[in-house]
Structure 1
Amino acid sequence: MLKSALLLSALFITSFVYSQEDINNLNIFLDCNFCDNTYIKQNLGNVEFVRDQELSDVHLFFVSQANGSGGYLYEINFIGKERFEAINYILKFSTNTDMTSDAIRTELIKHIKIGLVRYWIANGSITNVSVNVPSPENETEDTQVEDKWDYWVFRIGASGYLSGEETSNYSNLNVDLSAKRVTEKNKFSFSARFGENRSTFTYDDEDIVAVNSSKAIDISDVLSINDHWSYGFFGNIGTSTYSNYNTYWRFKPAIEYNFFNYKESAKKQLIISYRNGLVFNNYIERSVFGEDKELRFQHSLLLGGSIRQEWGNINGEAAFNQYLHDTTLNSLGFYVGANIRVFKGFNFNVGGNYRITRDQINLPAGDVSLEELLLQQQQLQSGYNYWVNVGFSYSFGSIYNSIVNPRFNF
């Protein structure tokens, strides 16, 4: 009888200790679609990761935006739940193009730990928490960092692909380079690219070769007016065998209004923009309108927006393009996409695009051969194009998912 009582007491004490440990660990919901979640779970202790935001003590909500150095500005929103609902704040940090993925995830987890300190204090679970700060003798006065590149960022890249079998082979080559300078008042961008796709098919000892190539140079300069207005200039020049362009160029000034402050664009934005300018086309083959080359005015209007919150994200746009010499030559396109957390464990996503095309002035006259059709050597006339995707996911079971097991990687 005494042994049984001692055993029950031991089990009770053990259960109490484990329950205390569970209470002292913060329940974290990690809401990040670009993070290395495995690395975070392996290197962040004193917490439990849960699979639903309603089961969390702290909801970590991440957003990011490209910055001028070729990196990203990361924003971590610490959203307290239930007994921690009074503790809410945001931490931000920036990366640059020289940082490796390991350096970025190290910086990310450092800021997560800093942000969780207040929650650990409020939770009474600071036994294993320590904070390192520089000693006074190691502190230096803040100095203005001198940027020898004056905010310019350059990039050059190339890629190739080759595949084949006995009766066919395919190769692809892409080369690109870019230069950009981004400040609060001005965003200038230059890019150049070359691409070639080559397919060879052997039939009855005869080789059928299909080649599509394109070259393009794009230049844009965007200037800030205030927190809601911007204007810019956009131009490009290039060639495309697929689109029947021996050469083409465009120049379009533009103006844009954001109904929200641009500083909130990582979480929400609603913009309307208007462009109007010149379009020049010099065709490889005479166009369906009997033109070898032509210079036209074209304008476009775009209304688009996006919202990213802890319940999910929604984004969409409507775009209208029209040639001014003949207003019947126009296109109208719509896009919408959403990923919404409907209720505990259930997520719904939908996306779709539909475009009415009545402005394909570049199409060559004459019939398309079966060979050109099958090998997709030439753009074809189409009054519309679309795509749609719909999906959902539902998960249930244990609320905890802190354990990481990388074996066989599935």
Structure 2
Amino acid sequence: MKFQRSILMVIGLMISMPILTLHSVNAQDSVEVETADSIRTTPQVNRAPYVFIDCSFCDFNHIRNEIPFVNYVRDPKQADIHVFITRTRLSRGGAEYEFSFIGLGEFNTISFDLGYTANRNDTWSETRDALNQILESAFMPYISQTVLATVTNVEMDLDDFELEESAAVDDPWNYWVFEAYVGSVNLGLESKKKDFNSRWGIYADRVTEEWKLRFRPYFNYSYVEIEREGEESVESTVERHGLESYAIKSINDHWSVGLFANYETRNDRNIKNRVQVNPGVEFSLLPYEVATRKAINFRYQLGYTYADYFKETIFGVTQENLLSHQLRASVDIEQPWGSVSGGAEA
């Protein structure tokens, strides 16, 4: 498992004194690990930091066992350090992990971001150990500001890590990620009723700093047959298939342009074919590099829709061409004080 040199420099520059990894002194013997319901009454510098880890996939029990020299809390309002951890799957396999450490209270001057890339051949156990190593090292700038730095030999030698310069990675898939899914397949057989439901599709995504591409064909099929005594059976078939796609080009940290194209056919809505093409422009209030935790976007789209129908509609048409436009605002923020998500359109 490897740190890149730039990552370690960030940690080193943020500490005014040499930073060390824990030696043989057992931190758990000298520091009581408090529960999430503890009420902070001791100044931050006179105790171990309170940490809230904001992560949907982390193994919290393993983290607590491997890094026992800080206090873990369930309430972010009690935290001295709020840690956001996100994961992005890579087309070549493996994943990129992004860490954001936010110091609060007396630690509010210590905030930084780190990153780690797991290879596709790495086991989850290996990846988990590497993530813990990053957490342990990143806690040291905070530990060095507390009494724990004097009662524990806290030291980190950068030579302990294997360093390598950043290099371009050969990606035979050129950043494309493909994922097939089966949402549901249900088959019911009763004496007088038969039914079958299925939903499946494919995601093809490519995300880089300059482009965001998606092609998503999907297929939905539902069939029901009911037998009635002395009468003909009743049958119903619902088919809904389509394609969602977009291509978005980033112009700079705040502006991007895109083209959204969708196709749909569904007999339950009398839609034989419907094609939508929507060029648009988007403004991001916040720069690209913070998008994983903070995004405030405004998007304006012009739309053209062509539709033809299985049967004549109540408006007396079998096909039509429509023009539209839409303005949409969306907010998606995750911060130590909580999260905000929503949107509005007109």
What's the TM-score bracket when you normalise by the shorter of the two chains? 0.7 to 0.9
**Partner amino acid, structure 2, of 1:60:** H
Output aligned runs, 1:4-403, within 5 Å. 20-22=30-32, 25-56=48-79, 58-62=80-84, 64=86, 66=88, 69=91, 74-94=97-117, 105-122=128-145, 123-124=148-149, 126-127=152-153, 133=159, 143-164=167-188, 166=190, 167-204=192-229, 207-320=233-346
The answer (yes or no) to whether the contact 2:298–2:327 under 8 Å persists in 1 is: yes
Shift of the 19–102 alpha-carbon distance from structure 1 to 2, 3 Å rule, reads closer
Counterpart CA distance in 2 for 1:130 and 1:200 is 70
1:188-227 Cα offsets, whole Å, 9 max, x none, are 2222121212334445476433322222123321111222
Q: Any idea what SS the aligned residue of 2:74 has? A: coil
> Which amino acid is 2:31 matched to?
E
Q: Contact 2:77–2:337 at 8 Å: present in 1 too? A: no
**Matched-pair contact (CA < 8 Å) for 2:90–2:96:** no
Structure 1, unmatched stretches of 5+, are 1-16, 321-410
Secondary structure of the 1:242 match is helix
Deviations 1:291-314 (A, max 9, x none): 111122222111222322111111
Larger RCO (CA within 8 A; separation ≥ 6): 2
Aligned to 1:403: none
After TM superposition, give the deviation of residue 287 of structure 1 in Å: 1.5
Superposed displacement of residue 164, structure 1: 3.3
Deviation at 1:255, TM superposition (A): 0.9
CA RMSD of aligned residues (A): 3.5
TM-score (norm. length: structure 1)? 0.62
TM-score (norm 2): 0.72
Contact 1:189 1:220 in 2 (8 A): yes
Q: Secondary structure at the match of 2:31?
A: helix
1:31–1:59 contact (8 Å) kept in structure 2: no
Distance 2:139 2:276 in 1: 51
Alignment length (residue pairs): 301
- Tell me which amino acid in the other structure corresponds to 2:81: H
In 2, distance between residues paired with 1:238 and 1:18?
A: 60
Contact 1:62 1:74 in 2 (8 A): no
**2: CA distance, partners of 1:220 / 1:98:** 31
Kindly tell me: are residues 190 and 19 of structure 1, through their superposed partners in 2, closer, same or farther at Cα, counting changes over 3 Å? Answer: closer
The separation in 1 between residues aligned to 2:242 and 2:208, in whole angstroms, is 25
SS in 2 for 1:146: coil
Partners of 2:174 and 2:248 lie apart in 1 by 17
Query: Is the Cα contact below 8 Å between 2:51 and 2:83 reproduced in 1?
Result: no
